[in-house]
Copies of this chain bind each other. A is one copy, B any other.
Amino acid sequence: MIVVLKQGANEQQIENLTRWFRAKGVEPDISQGTDVTIMGLVGDVSKIDTELIEALDIVQSVKRVSEPFKQANRKFHPDDTVITLANGTKIGGGNFVYMAGPCSVESEEQIIYCAQRVKAAGAQVLRGGAFKPRTSPYSFQGMGEDGIKLLLEAKKETGLPIVTELMAVRHLDMFADVDIIQVGARNMQNFDLLKELGHCNKPILLKRGLANTIQEWLMSAEYIMAGGNHNVILCERGIRTFETYTRNTLDLSAVPAVHELSHLPIIVDPSHATGLSRMVPTMAMGAAAVGADGLMIEVHNDPPRAKCDGAQSITPDQFDQLTAGVNSLLAAMKG
Protein backbone atom coordinates (compact mmCIF):
# COMPACT_ATOMS: atom_id res chain seq x y z
CA MET A 1 0.00 0.00 0.00
CA ILE A 2 1.27 3.44 -0.91
CA VAL A 3 0.31 6.57 0.98
CA VAL A 4 0.99 9.93 -0.65
CA LEU A 5 1.16 12.79 1.86
CA LYS A 6 0.11 16.36 1.18
CA GLN A 7 2.73 19.03 0.50
CA GLY A 8 2.27 20.65 3.91
CA ALA A 9 2.81 17.56 6.08
CA ASN A 10 5.38 18.34 8.80
CA GLU A 11 7.82 16.01 10.52
CA GLN A 12 5.76 15.63 13.66
CA GLN A 13 2.72 14.57 11.66
CA ILE A 14 4.76 12.09 9.64
CA GLU A 15 6.19 10.61 12.83
CA ASN A 16 2.72 10.27 14.35
CA LEU A 17 1.47 8.50 11.27
CA THR A 18 4.50 6.22 11.25
CA ARG A 19 3.80 5.23 14.83
CA TRP A 20 0.14 4.64 14.01
CA PHE A 21 1.09 2.27 11.17
CA ARG A 22 3.58 0.40 13.34
CA ALA A 23 0.81 -0.13 15.90
CA LYS A 24 -1.16 -1.83 13.12
CA GLY A 25 1.81 -4.08 12.43
CA VAL A 26 3.03 -2.53 9.19
CA GLU A 27 6.30 -0.72 8.64
CA PRO A 28 6.33 2.34 6.38
CA ASP A 29 9.28 3.15 4.07
CA ILE A 30 9.41 6.90 3.62
CA SER A 31 10.49 8.63 0.39
CA GLN A 32 10.83 12.35 0.91
CA GLY A 33 10.75 14.39 -2.30
CA THR A 34 10.73 18.12 -2.77
CA ASP A 35 7.03 18.28 -3.48
CA VAL A 36 5.70 15.13 -2.05
CA THR A 37 6.33 12.53 0.64
CA ILE A 38 5.48 8.92 -0.07
CA MET A 39 5.03 6.11 2.44
CA GLY A 40 5.32 2.56 1.18
CA LEU A 41 3.65 0.17 3.64
CA VAL A 42 5.12 -3.27 3.85
CA GLY A 43 3.61 -6.21 5.67
CA ASP A 44 0.06 -7.50 5.85
CA VAL A 45 -2.03 -4.50 4.88
CA SER A 46 -5.21 -6.40 4.06
CA LYS A 47 -6.80 -5.25 7.34
CA ILE A 48 -6.00 -1.57 6.80
CA ASP A 49 -8.96 0.44 5.54
CA THR A 50 -7.79 2.65 2.67
CA GLU A 51 -10.74 5.02 3.04
CA LEU A 52 -9.84 5.61 6.64
CA ILE A 53 -6.30 6.67 5.75
CA GLU A 54 -7.54 8.82 2.89
CA ALA A 55 -9.58 10.77 5.43
CA LEU A 56 -6.52 11.84 7.40
CA ASP A 57 -5.68 15.52 7.14
CA ILE A 58 -2.15 15.04 5.86
CA VAL A 59 -2.92 12.33 3.29
CA GLN A 60 -3.44 13.15 -0.36
CA SER A 61 -4.18 9.69 -1.71
CA VAL A 62 -3.79 6.01 -1.05
CA LYS A 63 -3.17 3.23 -3.53
CA ARG A 64 -3.37 -0.49 -2.94
CA VAL A 65 -0.54 -2.39 -4.59
CA SER A 66 -1.99 -5.83 -4.03
CA GLU A 67 -5.54 -7.04 -4.65
CA PRO A 68 -7.87 -6.97 -1.63
CA PHE A 69 -8.99 -10.58 -2.21
CA LYS A 70 -6.92 -13.53 -1.03
CA GLN A 71 -8.71 -16.86 -1.20
CA ALA A 72 -9.90 -16.09 -4.72
CA ASN A 73 -6.47 -14.81 -5.76
CA ARG A 74 -4.42 -16.79 -8.26
CA LYS A 75 -1.22 -15.46 -6.67
CA PHE A 76 -1.84 -17.54 -3.59
CA HIS A 77 -3.41 -20.46 -5.46
CA PRO A 78 -1.77 -20.72 -8.90
CA ASP A 79 -3.62 -23.87 -10.04
CA ASP A 80 -7.08 -23.71 -11.52
CA THR A 81 -9.87 -24.72 -9.18
CA VAL A 82 -11.71 -27.74 -10.57
CA ILE A 83 -15.19 -28.42 -9.20
CA THR A 84 -16.54 -31.95 -9.55
CA LEU A 85 -20.28 -32.58 -9.47
CA ALA A 86 -21.96 -35.74 -8.17
CA ASN A 87 -22.20 -37.29 -11.65
CA GLY A 88 -18.52 -36.65 -12.34
CA THR A 89 -18.89 -33.49 -14.41
CA LYS A 90 -15.85 -31.27 -13.93
CA ILE A 91 -15.93 -27.47 -14.10
CA GLY A 92 -12.72 -25.47 -14.53
CA GLY A 93 -9.17 -26.50 -15.36
CA GLY A 94 -9.66 -26.94 -19.07
CA ASN A 95 -13.02 -28.72 -18.92
CA PHE A 96 -15.86 -27.08 -20.83
CA VAL A 97 -19.37 -27.27 -19.41
CA TYR A 98 -22.78 -26.54 -20.92
CA MET A 99 -25.55 -25.56 -18.50
CA ALA A 100 -28.82 -25.24 -20.36
CA GLY A 101 -32.55 -25.20 -19.85
CA PRO A 102 -35.54 -22.89 -19.66
CA CYS A 103 -35.52 -19.54 -17.88
CA SER A 104 -38.25 -20.78 -15.57
CA VAL A 105 -39.72 -24.16 -14.78
CA GLU A 106 -43.32 -24.17 -16.00
CA SER A 107 -44.52 -27.80 -15.89
CA GLU A 108 -43.25 -31.34 -15.47
CA GLU A 109 -43.67 -32.03 -19.17
CA GLN A 110 -41.80 -28.86 -20.15
CA ILE A 111 -38.83 -29.30 -17.86
CA ILE A 112 -38.37 -33.01 -18.61
CA TYR A 113 -38.59 -32.40 -22.36
CA CYS A 114 -36.06 -29.56 -22.13
CA ALA A 115 -33.77 -31.68 -19.94
CA GLN A 116 -33.82 -34.56 -22.40
CA ARG A 117 -33.14 -32.30 -25.35
CA VAL A 118 -30.26 -30.33 -23.80
CA LYS A 119 -28.73 -33.58 -22.52
CA ALA A 120 -28.90 -35.06 -26.01
CA ALA A 121 -27.13 -31.96 -27.35
CA GLY A 122 -24.32 -32.35 -24.85
CA ALA A 123 -25.31 -30.32 -21.81
CA GLN A 124 -23.96 -31.65 -18.51
CA VAL A 125 -26.08 -29.47 -16.22
CA LEU A 126 -29.78 -28.53 -16.36
CA ARG A 127 -30.73 -24.95 -15.52
CA GLY A 128 -34.22 -23.72 -14.67
CA GLY A 129 -35.62 -21.00 -12.45
CA ALA A 130 -38.00 -21.76 -9.59
CA PHE A 131 -37.63 -18.44 -7.77
CA LYS A 132 -37.48 -15.60 -10.33
CA PRO A 133 -36.20 -12.08 -9.60
CA ARG A 134 -38.54 -9.80 -11.55
CA THR A 135 -38.45 -6.01 -11.74
CA SER A 136 -42.22 -5.85 -11.35
CA PRO A 137 -44.16 -7.35 -8.43
CA TYR A 138 -46.93 -8.07 -10.95
CA SER A 139 -44.79 -10.31 -13.20
CA PHE A 140 -44.66 -14.11 -12.88
CA GLN A 141 -42.44 -14.84 -9.87
CA GLY A 142 -41.69 -18.49 -10.60
CA MET A 143 -43.23 -21.71 -9.27
CA GLY A 144 -41.16 -21.61 -6.08
CA GLU A 145 -40.82 -24.86 -4.14
CA ASP A 146 -42.96 -26.70 -6.71
CA GLY A 147 -40.49 -25.62 -9.38
CA ILE A 148 -37.64 -27.15 -7.42
CA LYS A 149 -39.55 -30.42 -7.12
CA LEU A 150 -40.03 -30.50 -10.88
CA LEU A 151 -36.32 -29.84 -11.41
CA LEU A 152 -35.57 -32.80 -9.15
CA GLU A 153 -37.98 -34.90 -11.23
CA ALA A 154 -36.08 -33.92 -14.37
CA LYS A 155 -32.80 -34.74 -12.61
CA LYS A 156 -34.11 -38.21 -11.71
CA GLU A 157 -35.34 -38.72 -15.25
CA THR A 158 -32.15 -37.67 -17.04
CA GLY A 159 -29.36 -37.87 -14.49
CA LEU A 160 -28.45 -34.23 -15.13
CA PRO A 161 -27.29 -32.22 -12.09
CA ILE A 162 -29.34 -29.05 -11.64
CA VAL A 163 -28.54 -25.39 -11.06
CA THR A 164 -31.20 -22.96 -9.85
CA GLU A 165 -31.33 -19.56 -8.18
CA LEU A 166 -31.67 -18.95 -4.44
CA MET A 167 -33.19 -15.59 -3.53
CA ALA A 168 -33.53 -15.83 0.25
CA VAL A 169 -31.60 -17.46 3.07
CA ARG A 170 -34.79 -18.92 4.53
CA HIS A 171 -35.36 -20.95 1.35
CA LEU A 172 -32.05 -22.76 1.77
CA ASP A 173 -33.66 -25.96 3.09
CA MET A 174 -35.51 -26.47 -0.17
CA PHE A 175 -32.16 -26.55 -1.98
CA ALA A 176 -30.85 -29.67 -0.21
CA ASP A 177 -30.82 -31.74 -3.40
CA VAL A 178 -29.89 -28.95 -5.78
CA ASP A 179 -26.40 -29.47 -7.23
CA ILE A 180 -25.33 -25.87 -7.84
CA ILE A 181 -26.90 -22.85 -6.13
CA GLN A 182 -27.08 -19.75 -8.28
CA VAL A 183 -26.71 -16.23 -6.89
CA GLY A 184 -28.32 -13.80 -9.33
CA ALA A 185 -26.81 -10.56 -10.60
CA ARG A 186 -29.07 -8.42 -8.38
CA ASN A 187 -27.91 -10.32 -5.28
CA MET A 188 -24.18 -10.25 -6.05
CA GLN A 189 -23.71 -7.84 -3.15
CA ASN A 190 -26.39 -9.30 -0.88
CA PHE A 191 -23.67 -9.92 1.67
CA ASP A 192 -25.95 -11.67 4.15
CA LEU A 193 -26.80 -14.28 1.52
CA LEU A 194 -23.14 -14.66 0.51
CA LYS A 195 -22.09 -15.27 4.12
CA GLU A 196 -24.69 -18.01 4.53
CA LEU A 197 -23.54 -19.69 1.34
CA GLY A 198 -20.03 -19.70 2.77
CA HIS A 199 -21.28 -22.23 5.32
CA CYS A 200 -22.89 -24.65 2.90
CA ASN A 201 -20.75 -27.07 0.98
CA LYS A 202 -22.42 -26.85 -2.42
CA PRO A 203 -20.94 -25.26 -5.53
CA ILE A 204 -22.15 -21.67 -5.94
CA LEU A 205 -22.68 -20.04 -9.33
CA LEU A 206 -22.06 -16.34 -8.71
CA LYS A 207 -23.36 -14.06 -11.44
CA ARG A 208 -21.71 -10.70 -11.98
CA GLY A 209 -23.77 -7.71 -10.92
CA LEU A 210 -25.01 -5.40 -13.65
CA ALA A 211 -22.81 -2.55 -12.52
CA ASN A 212 -20.05 -4.30 -10.66
CA THR A 213 -16.38 -4.30 -11.45
CA ILE A 214 -14.42 -7.51 -11.78
CA GLN A 215 -12.72 -6.72 -8.48
CA GLU A 216 -16.01 -6.30 -6.62
CA TRP A 217 -17.17 -9.59 -8.14
CA LEU A 218 -14.09 -11.38 -6.84
CA MET A 219 -14.66 -9.74 -3.44
CA SER A 220 -18.14 -11.28 -3.41
CA ALA A 221 -16.57 -14.66 -4.21
CA GLU A 222 -14.21 -13.95 -1.33
CA TYR A 223 -17.21 -13.55 1.01
CA ILE A 224 -18.31 -17.10 0.18
CA MET A 225 -14.79 -18.50 0.37
CA ALA A 226 -14.01 -16.73 3.64
CA GLY A 227 -16.82 -18.79 5.14
CA GLY A 228 -15.14 -22.02 4.08
CA ASN A 229 -16.89 -22.82 0.80
CA HIS A 230 -14.27 -22.77 -1.96
CA ASN A 231 -16.53 -24.06 -4.75
CA VAL A 232 -17.36 -20.85 -6.53
CA ILE A 233 -18.09 -20.63 -10.27
CA LEU A 234 -18.23 -17.12 -11.73
CA CYS A 235 -20.69 -16.25 -14.49
CA GLU A 236 -20.35 -13.20 -16.75
CA ARG A 237 -23.83 -12.13 -17.92
CA GLY A 238 -23.41 -8.63 -19.30
CA ILE A 239 -22.99 -5.24 -17.68
CA ARG A 240 -25.11 -2.12 -17.85
CA THR A 241 -23.85 0.50 -20.29
CA PHE A 242 -25.35 3.30 -22.38
CA GLU A 243 -25.88 0.93 -25.36
CA THR A 244 -29.51 -0.12 -25.77
CA TYR A 245 -29.45 -2.39 -28.82
CA THR A 246 -28.59 -5.38 -26.66
CA ARG A 247 -30.15 -5.71 -23.17
CA ASN A 248 -26.74 -5.52 -21.52
CA THR A 249 -23.20 -5.40 -22.87
CA LEU A 250 -21.48 -8.79 -22.69
CA ASP A 251 -17.99 -8.11 -21.32
CA LEU A 252 -15.99 -10.99 -22.80
CA SER A 253 -12.74 -9.35 -21.65
CA ALA A 254 -13.83 -10.36 -18.16
CA VAL A 255 -12.95 -13.96 -19.06
CA PRO A 256 -9.19 -13.47 -19.54
CA ALA A 257 -9.23 -10.89 -16.73
CA VAL A 258 -10.70 -13.39 -14.25
CA HIS A 259 -8.29 -16.07 -15.45
CA GLU A 260 -5.39 -13.72 -14.68
CA LEU A 261 -6.63 -12.62 -11.29
CA SER A 262 -8.21 -15.78 -9.97
CA HIS A 263 -8.10 -19.58 -10.08
CA LEU A 264 -11.90 -19.87 -10.09
CA PRO A 265 -13.73 -21.12 -13.19
CA ILE A 266 -15.73 -18.58 -15.21
CA ILE A 267 -18.60 -19.34 -17.55
CA VAL A 268 -20.59 -17.01 -19.82
CA ASP A 269 -24.34 -16.48 -20.16
CA PRO A 270 -24.99 -14.89 -23.57
CA SER A 271 -28.77 -15.27 -23.19
CA HIS A 272 -29.21 -12.71 -20.42
CA ALA A 273 -26.38 -10.54 -21.72
CA THR A 274 -27.83 -9.90 -25.16
CA GLY A 275 -31.52 -10.50 -24.48
CA LEU A 276 -31.82 -11.51 -28.14
CA SER A 277 -32.06 -15.19 -29.01
CA ARG A 278 -30.68 -14.63 -32.52
CA MET A 279 -27.39 -13.35 -31.04
CA VAL A 280 -26.95 -16.18 -28.53
CA PRO A 281 -25.17 -18.71 -30.79
CA THR A 282 -22.78 -16.04 -32.11
CA MET A 283 -21.82 -14.75 -28.68
CA ALA A 284 -21.49 -18.33 -27.41
CA MET A 285 -18.78 -18.84 -30.04
CA GLY A 286 -17.06 -15.68 -28.83
CA ALA A 287 -17.17 -16.87 -25.23
CA ALA A 288 -15.59 -20.20 -26.13
CA ALA A 289 -12.91 -18.45 -28.20
CA VAL A 290 -11.79 -16.22 -25.32
CA GLY A 291 -11.33 -19.22 -23.04
CA ALA A 292 -14.53 -19.41 -20.97
CA ASP A 293 -14.88 -22.59 -18.90
CA GLY A 294 -18.42 -23.09 -20.09
CA LEU A 295 -21.72 -21.61 -21.16
CA MET A 296 -25.10 -21.08 -19.58
CA ILE A 297 -27.80 -21.01 -22.24
CA GLU A 298 -31.56 -20.54 -22.07
CA VAL A 299 -33.31 -23.25 -24.08
CA HIS A 300 -37.09 -23.39 -24.21
CA ASN A 301 -39.36 -25.82 -26.01
CA ASP A 302 -41.57 -22.95 -27.22
CA PRO A 303 -39.91 -19.55 -26.73
CA PRO A 304 -42.85 -17.33 -27.76
CA ARG A 305 -44.97 -18.95 -25.09
CA ALA A 306 -42.30 -18.94 -22.36
CA LYS A 307 -43.52 -17.44 -19.10
CA CYS A 308 -40.47 -15.20 -18.96
CA ASP A 309 -37.50 -14.14 -21.06
CA GLY A 310 -38.87 -15.78 -24.20
CA ALA A 311 -37.10 -13.16 -26.28
CA GLN A 312 -33.72 -14.56 -25.38
CA SER A 313 -34.42 -18.30 -25.37
CA ILE A 314 -33.35 -20.53 -28.21
CA THR A 315 -35.10 -23.74 -29.26
CA PRO A 316 -33.70 -27.24 -28.63
CA ASP A 317 -32.88 -27.50 -32.35
CA GLN A 318 -30.93 -24.26 -32.23
CA PHE A 319 -29.12 -25.53 -29.15
CA ASP A 320 -28.09 -28.68 -31.08
CA GLN A 321 -26.45 -26.41 -33.64
CA LEU A 322 -24.90 -24.19 -30.98
CA THR A 323 -23.11 -27.06 -29.23
CA ALA A 324 -21.98 -28.51 -32.56
CA GLY A 325 -20.47 -25.16 -33.55
CA VAL A 326 -18.83 -24.52 -30.20
CA ASN A 327 -17.48 -28.06 -29.99
CA SER A 328 -15.77 -27.78 -33.36
CA LEU A 329 -14.29 -24.42 -32.36
CA LEU A 330 -12.99 -25.91 -29.11
CA ALA A 331 -11.48 -28.82 -31.03
CA ALA A 332 -9.72 -26.42 -33.41
CA MET A 333 -8.33 -24.42 -30.49
CA LYS A 334 -6.96 -27.50 -28.81
CA GLY A 335 -5.25 -28.14 -32.10
Q: Which of B51, B66, B304 contacts A56 (CB 8 A)?
A: B304
B36 & A65 in contact (Cβ 8 Å cutoff): yes
Q: Which of A83-91, A112-120, A122-130, A278-286 contacts B (4 or more CB under 8 A)?
A: A278-286
From known contacts A38-B31, A42-B34, A253-B273, infer whether A245 and B213 are also in contact, taking CB-CB under 8 Å: yes
Which of A93-101, A133-141, A145-153, A155-163 is the contact stretch?
A133-141
Whether the pair A139, B49 counts as a contact (CB closer than 8 A) is yes
- Asked if A77 is at the interface (CB within 8 A of a chain B CB), the reply is no
Residue A240 lies at the interface, judged by CB distance under 8 Å to chain B: yes
Q: A105: shortest Cβ distance to chain B, in Å? A: 17
A213 to chain B, nearest CB (A): 5
Q: Is A46 an interface residue (CB 8 A)?
A: yes
Tell me which residues across on chain B come within 8 A of A34, comparing CB atoms: 42-43
Interface size on A, residues (CB 8 A): 109
Q: Are A136 and B222 in touch, CB under 8 angstroms?
A: yes
**Interface SS majority for chain A:** mixed
Of B33, B35, B241, the contact of A249 (CB 8 Å cutoff): B241
C-alpha spacing A42/B37, complex, angstroms: 10
A246 cross-chain contacts in B, Cβ below 8 A = 253, 257
Contact: B2 with A38, CB < 8 Å? Answer: yes
A322 at interface (Cβ–Cβ under 8 A)?
A: no
Interface 1/0s, chain A 187-200, versus B by CB < 8 A? 10111100100000
Report yes or no: B311 in contact with A55, Cβ–Cβ below 8 A: yes
Copies in the complex: 4
A309 at the B interface (CB under 8 A): yes
Are B138 and A46 within 8 A (Cβ)?
Answer: yes
Q: In the complex, are the beta carbons of B213 and A244 less than 8 A apart?
A: yes
A82 interface contact, C-beta 8 A: no
In the bound assembly, the distance between CA atoms of A241 and B137 in angstroms comes to 26
Q: Which residues of B contact A29 (CB under 8 A)?
A: 31-33, 38
List of B residues within 8 angstroms of A216 by Cβ: 135
Contacts of A174 in B (CB 8 A): none
Question: Do residues B242 and A240 form an inter-chain contact, with CB atoms below 8 A?
Answer: yes
Q: Could you give, for residues 310-334 of chain A, a 1 whenever the CB lies within 8 Å of some chain B CB and a 0 otherwise?
A: 1101000000000001001101110
Known: A290-B286, A331-B332. A310 touches B52 (CB 8 A): yes
Complex interface bits, A262-279 against B, C-beta within 8 A gives 1, otherwise 0: 000000000001100111
Complex interface: chain B residues within 8 A of A333 (CB): 285, 325, 328-329
- A52-B310, A68-B135, A249-B249 given. 10 additional CB < 8 A pairs? A2-B63, A33-B40, A33-B42, A35-B65, A35-B66, A55-B306, A241-B241, A252-B252, A253-B274, A282-B291
